[in-house]
Chains A and B, each alone.
Chain A
Amino acid sequence: MMLTLLSLVLAQADVDGGFEPLAVDAGVVASASPDAGAGESGPADARGEGALTWTPIVDAFGEFQARFPRDAAPNNTFTVPRVQLGVQADWRGASGRVLLEGVYATQGGALIGVAGDSVVVRIREAWGGYRWRFLEAQLGLIPTLVVPEVERAFLHRELSPDGLEAYRVKAPADFGGLLRGHLPAGYGWVGVSVTNGEGYTSRELNTGKNVELAAAVHPLPRGVLEPLTVLGFAMVGTSGPSSARANRFGGGALWQGKTLGLGVTAASVQGWLDDGSRQALLVQGFARAELFGRLLLAARVHLFNRDTTQPDQVLELIGGVGVKVEPVELFLAVHRTSLSGAALTALPGVDSTDVRLVVRVRWPPLYP
């Protein structure tokens, strides 16, 4: 039954936001030409896709980490960096998703009755949407436009979240709405979102809304270069109750193949961590490959210049080798974080070398 439902979802394979139902056997992660003929396809309910489908989402990481900080004693720990459980429903053009995640409760003062650093459950995504012809809209606690698109190229979040998220440059989800226009003939999409701007982990604090324009274009949607994606984004916004500037501009090139993923992105940051005057720059690159249907190789590098007016950098190098027996993946990874300039003394315990054994269970198989 589940496979039947899933096959219906995969057959639809044209919802192009956050996680999308994926064509598992296609050569492109971003689905097999999700935008092919979008402009001509007509309303979804006129395409014979009237069955209600439910797609379960399960994503859990377990990790053993041996950490060798430069300025502290070595330590090792078992941890669960991510536990997500959700469901997506699609019916004709309508869709909706609820995604829960487990997180540590680390703030005091409010959670009376929750002892210590307990794991609590919160909502990561909760949205409803509708697609009509080439237009797709979502409203609620939505995945943002850019981070999920980049994660679809890397696919191995268990090794590292995208630098945009890790350095609090952009949130992966936020309260708000988005409108995405799918370009004809599989050329990709252009989207606009209006969000609170504080990310999904915080309530609205500022008075304005953050507006983002983004586009993911497949310049050659036919043939072997189909997975090639050119990404661009511009976000103008603020954060915090005093409306500190938080603008983001950037872009990159991605290769979103099923067995090969590549990416280079850069983001200019205007205003960071409530300092509206701060200018920063994030550059990252990654590569992953799946060989022989089982062997996984992945590497990525983040270079975050926290202050473009002076030496103040964080450099991360991550490499891993793993095996995959769907839906389980096992990685042995090395993660080196190196600081320089002002960051060297400003970030206690961050400069380190970590050796990690990571196991991940995910469904659907290419859930980013």
Chain B
Amino acid sequence: MRGGWWCLVLTGCVGSAPAREIEVATVIARNDEVMIRSRPALVAGRYQRMASNAFDFYRGNLALFRQDWELGRSSRSGFLGVTPPVWGLADPHPENFGILIAADGVAAIEPNDFDSADRVPFLFDVRRLVGGLAVGARLANPQLSTAVLGEAAARSYAATLTALASGAAPQRATASSDPIAADLFRRSQRDLTNRAELLFLTEVKEGQRRFRRGVIDPEEPTQFLADVPPEIVAQVPEALRRVQGAPGFEVLDVVREFGSGVASWARVRLLVLVQGPTEAPGDDVILEVKELPESMVAGWYRPALPASDTPARVESAARRAWFRPDADPRFFATTWLGLPVLVRTESEAFKSVRVRRWEGDRASLTSLTTLAEWTGALLARVHAQSEPETVRAIVTQLERGPDVFAAEQGAFAEAHSAQVLEDFAHFQAALTRLGPTLGITQDPRERAPDLASRLFGDPTP
């Protein structure tokens, strides 16, 4: 027993691991404690995913980012001043941007994850973005200067926000010639044309389309589709009540999707196959019903709340952030079976930025710098939807020294991304040392109620 028997009754048994390793593991586990106690296997799966590569770790470490912010490690700046909070994204890492196809049929790059959206200091979002860009760049092309990427994103952010505050019209990112964006648009158009999600996820038997079951992509063996208990399937139309008015609406099939995402890996995620405008199986539509988390920065600016509840927080954030509010025409948030959930289009044409695709010319300095610029500009466009006096206050801060601001974010990106790689190693070590749920175990007496248990499901393929 570590530390001897007296650890049970006495103290002095401080963990022997490095202090930072202890902190990384504790902050993440404490943040997930409620989930671990109700669905430990799912959280274990999430941690395995986070331990698989450094960028997945970054995607799942927002609680640690908040901790570092609150303890003054990530929040030091000469440009925060007394700026009011913006309507922010809270987790705008590069993989949370991607193509959406709006109701007008136009594909555009937009922020596509609002799980943590909330009132935040503008710099919190900027640093989450430049940190993510730098971590991705370190993995894709270790020779690159991550500071340059941070500077590029910050410079673009400042210029765009200043222009928007001066009355410039917001821009819609509908096309780009840089390799990363061009790759997104090209693959999106390809998959839109051939309805790739129907090809990948469904099959037609006896004229009726249904989801496949099991592992869909052998390269993603932990990601699979499974049956949903009939009593839960019967409840699904209730979750979709805001789209039920569409002509021909009919739920054709429902599956539980396991192993998707990182931060939301442990959350309930259903795919719902809905009858399209005609009875032909070729125009069926897939919707995703995804459980939403509480805001990761809940409690900041208390007692003011960003919205009355989680669904309202997430949906209003998306409507504000997008160039047009129907950037995903089927997007809405609601409460279902007591859970806050998000309903959105599941389409292979909705391509997200993926760090693993940063290779070849997409991993060049030019390409990543351009990515940094347009993600910085998009973030500025999101922040510009905040109150005018808030935007003016930020611009006033930025105008004190745009070059210094850019350099400050560049330096942060470099230092923070190095810290993230160290934290990633700490996380892996902690997972080995403490076990699959980082030392928190479920008491059998606190298992989730029957219906919830069946909804959470078993993440074993």
Contact = CB atoms under 8 A, between A and B. Distances in A.
Interface of A: 65, 67, 69-73, 75, 77, 79, 106-117, 194, 197, 202-203, 205, 207-211, 236-245, 273-278, 306-307, 310, 312, 341-349
List the 5 shortest-distance A-B pairs measured between CB atoms, nearest first: A241-B439, A342-B72, A240-B26, A349-B301, A243-B15
B34 interface: yes
B26 A274 contact: yes
B14 A245 contact: yes
Task: Name which of A71, A107, A241 has the most chain B CB atoms within 10 A of its CB.
Answer: A241
Contact of B120 (A106, A312, A348): A348
B84 interface: yes
Given A112-B452, A209-B10, A276 B23 contact: yes
B14 A244 contact: yes
B20 to A, nearest CB: 8
A67 B304 CA distance: 10
B22 interface: yes
Contacts of A79: 303
A109 B439 contact: no
B242 interface: no
B61 to A, nearest CB: 14
A112 B449 contact: yes
Nearest to B77: A345
Interface string B23-34: 101110110011
Contacts of A344: 80
Contacts of A343: 72
A144 B71 CA distance: 27
Contacts of B121: 71, 345, 348
Main secondary structure of the interface of A (DSSP, over half): loop
A244 B72 contact: no
A347 B27 CA distance: 17
Contacts of A70: 82
A285 to B, nearest CB: 25
Contact of B303 (A65, A112, A207): A65
Given A114-B338, A205-B440, A343-B72, A71 B14 contact: no
Interface residues of B, number: 77
Given A112-B337, A240-B22, A277-B19, 16 more contacts: A108-B293, A109-B38, A112-B338, A112-B449, A116-B310, A208-B3, A208-B10, A208-B13, A239-B26, A241-B439, A243-B15, A274-B23, A277-B20, A306-B72, A346-B75, A348-B124
A242 B3 CA distance: 13
Contact of B15 (A116, A210, A238): A238
Nearest to A347: B70
Contacts of B430: 242
Given A71-B85, A72-B301, A349-B302, A109 B21 contact: no
B302 A243 contact: no
Contacts of B17: 242
Given A242-B26, A346-B71, A109 B10 contact: no
Contacts of A347: 70
Nearest to B439: A241
Contact of B8 (A65, A111, A209): A209
A194 B26 contact: no
Given A71-B85, A72-B301, A274-B67, A243 B13 contact: yes
A242 B35 contact: no
Contacts of A77: 303
22 contacts: A71-B83, A75-B304, A107-B294, A109-B34, A109-B38, A114-B338, A115-B335, A209-B10, A238-B15, A241-B25, A241-B434, A242-B17, A242-B26, A242-B430, A242-B433, A243-B13, A273-B71, A274-B22, A307-B72, A345-B80, A346-B71, A347-B70
